[in-house]
Amino acid sequence: MVIPTRCGNRQFTWGERTYLMGILNVSPDSFSGDGLAGDPGIMASRAKKMVDDGADIIDVGGESTRPGAMPVSVEEEIRRVIPVIARLGRELGIPLSIDTYKAEVARLAIEAGVGMINDVCGLNGDPGMARVAAAAGVPVVIVSNQRNTAIEGDIMAAVISDLRESIQVARDAGMVEENIIIDPGIGFGKSPRQNREIVRRLAELKVFERPILLGTSRKFMIDLSPERWIEATEASIAIGIAGGADIVRVHDVKEMARVCRMSDAITRKLKGTK
């Protein structure tokens, strides 16, 4: 059994059900067009709606990670996210996550009330990130990112090798095992075919005996128009849960909460279901 993880005021008991991470993009250039930079009131309202719709954690990001996006300075990212985190920490009753690969942003976000780090560079973007996480005792989502490495062979072998190296970085920094969460990095340097293969073979990541986060929301796994993103996301999440996903990171919380509940009813022994 995978050891439970403490995040903020909640304990995530892995294997009982799928947890929902709602995406709150505090940037003007989100790939899916949902960025909310500059309006804290709208950000708070959207976050509260996600909580009402079933989110277990809100992931706040101040820099777009879409291919070709312009990098954001540490100072600008801090300016975008810290006021939002401070407000949400006062107004929401669920944990917050910070979507960043910069150690200083993560450190200040933790001081402002964040209980988790979501690092799309898998602890390789900033040498200080693992130390910040270990010192604060917060869980980290380690994402496998191949944007600077073309993978022509077995994509799952590459993802597993990459995650193994990042997990060792976390351990060397003093992170405890229960604070390590893994993410295969859908969309980060993978082709649509490789993304589909990862979802299909997600169960292979159980070799790490760590919780798995799956982030397929609104991503181009096949050539679909934007109005069909929800359908594609629903399908990938259902298959991912069957393959062992413990957390799903989503834009459309209400719809995906329904998918998670049905998928859990089929794949897990849920209390209170007939």
117 half-sphere exposure, CB direction, 13 A CA radius = 36
Q: Which among 17, 196, 210, 249 is annotated as catalytic? A: 249
* Distance of alpha carbon 32 from alpha carbon 217, whole angstroms: 9
Please name every residue paired with 5 in a beta bridge, in sequence order, or none if there are none: 12
Angle subtended by helix axes 253-267 and 229-242, to nearest 10:
30
Please confirm, yes or no, whether 219 is among the known catalytic residues. yes
Separation of first and last alpha carbons in the chain: 24
**190: annotated active-site residue:** no
Which entry of 17, 46, 80, 219 is annotated as an active-site residue? 219
**CA distance linking residue 6 with residue 125, whole number of Å:** 25
Q: How many helices (H) and strands (E) does the chain have?
A: 8, 10
Q: Whole-angstrom Cα distance, residue 198 to residue 219? A: 13
Q: What is the β-pairing status of strands 10-12 and 5-7?
A: antiparallel
Structure tokens at 73: 């300075």
- Residues marked active site are found at 219, 249
